[in-house]
Chains A and B, each alone.
Chain A
Amino acid sequence: MPHIALPEGVPGILGPMAFRPETAKPLNELAETLLRGPSTLSPGERELIAAYVSSRNDCLFCQSIHGAVAAYHFDGNEQLVLDVKRSAERAPVSDKLKALLAIAGEVQHRGKHVTAGEIERARQAGATDLEIHDTVLIAAAFCMYNRYVDGLGTWAPREPEAYREPAATLAREGYVASVR
């Protein structure tokens, strides 16, 4: 049961967002810009970073929904999402994305854990300043979303199938339009 009186029947972050629409607005706008705004990283790559960080934070709702959105962007390849969660280094993704996932993993642990060597690795793999910036902010933002969702004791479906349709809607319409 959630720690505070949230609207019933809405899973994960949707409960607290309905409880407090004022803060939902910038939270959704941040997700929209980071995950779907103009970028040289594809929406699928950015959703993978979000799913990876949420998995490391053990947040069922966030890793499931963003994993499902990532899979949608990769033509329904749910195995790819599982591979990234299990081991980013061994997953069939680009060297640049591996390097960015390594940075995201350090941010998840603690901001100061990111080393100059990891930044250099990302640059060697072709990452730009903006891509590095956005990777750090996506990882940091999901350290917020995950804590928001779990810190209020929200409920989330266990079955992966439950996330496929909402994920398709999010992938098509985005975080500001579909959550409103």
Chain B
Amino acid sequence: MPYIQIREGLPGIRGLFAFRPETAQPLSELAELLLHQPGTLTPGERELIATYVSSRNDCYYCQTAHGAIAAHHLGGHEDTVQAVKRDFERADISGKLKALLAIAGKVQSGGKNVQPEDIARARQEGATDLEIHDTVLIAAAFCMYNRYVDGLATWSPTDPEGFRERAAKVASDGYLGVLGYIHAAHAGP
């Protein structure tokens, strides 16, 4: 049971967004910019970084939700998501994404753990400053989202089909749709 009284039936971070719309706004905008807006990293690649960090933080809701969105972007390849979580160095992904995932893993364990050689490896694989910046911020942001979701003991569904359906919607519409829903609920009866 969640530690605070949030509206029933809304899992994970969505219940927290409904509880506190003022903070839901910047939190959703940040996710939209980092994961959904056009960039030189594909949405699938960025969702894989988010999933990998959430998996390392052992956040069930975030790793399942973003894993499903990543798989959707990757043409339904849930096995790629599992392979990245298990051992990304051996997964069927680009050398650049492997180098960025290595940086994300360092950020997850502590910002100072990122070493110049981690950055050099990413550059050799063709990563730009902006891609390195966004990788660090995605990893850092999921160290926040994961702690927010688990620190308040939110509830998560376990049915993979439900996650797939929601993933398809987020993959096409992005992360701001939830805000309209929350504001409508607050304005309601």
Chain A residues at the B interface, C-beta cutoff of 8 Å: 3-5, 16, 19-20, 22-23, 25-27, 29-30, 33-34, 37, 57-59, 103, 106-107, 110-112, 114, 116, 119, 129-130, 132-134, 136-137, 139-141, 143-153
Contacts and interface: CB of A to CB of B under 8 A. Distances in A.
A110 B33 contact: no
A110 B147 contact: yes
A112 B148 CA distance: 10
Given A30-B26, A114-B153, A151 B111 contact: yes
Nearest to B145: A140
Interface in B24-69: 25-27, 29-30, 33-34, 37, 57-59
Nearest to A119: B3
Given A33-B26, A107-B147, A114-B151, A23 B33 contact: yes
Chain B interface SS verdict (over half): helix
Contacts, number: 152
A22 B151 contact: no
A137 B111 contact: no
Contact of B114 (A3, A20, A23, A116): A3
B150 interface: yes
A140 B144 contact: yes
Nearest to B142: A144
Contacts of A144: 140-141, 143-144
B137 A136 contact: no
B112 interface: yes
A30 B103 CA distance: 25
A65 B143 CA distance: 21
Given A20-B130, A146-B111, A147-B107, A130 B20 contact: yes
Interface residues of B, number: 50
Given A4-B132, A119-B3, A136 B152 contact: yes
A132 to B, nearest CB: 6
Given A3-B114, A148-B137, A143 B143 contact: yes
Contacts of A116: 3
Contact of A111 (B4, B20, B114, B149): B149
Indicate the member of A103, A110, A130, A149 with the most B CB atoms within 10 Å. A110
A137 B30 contact: no
Given A140-B151, A147-B108, A147-B143, 8 more contacts: A4-B133, A26-B27, A57-B111, A111-B150, A132-B4, A140-B147, A143-B144, A144-B141
Contact of A3 (B26, B116, B148): B116
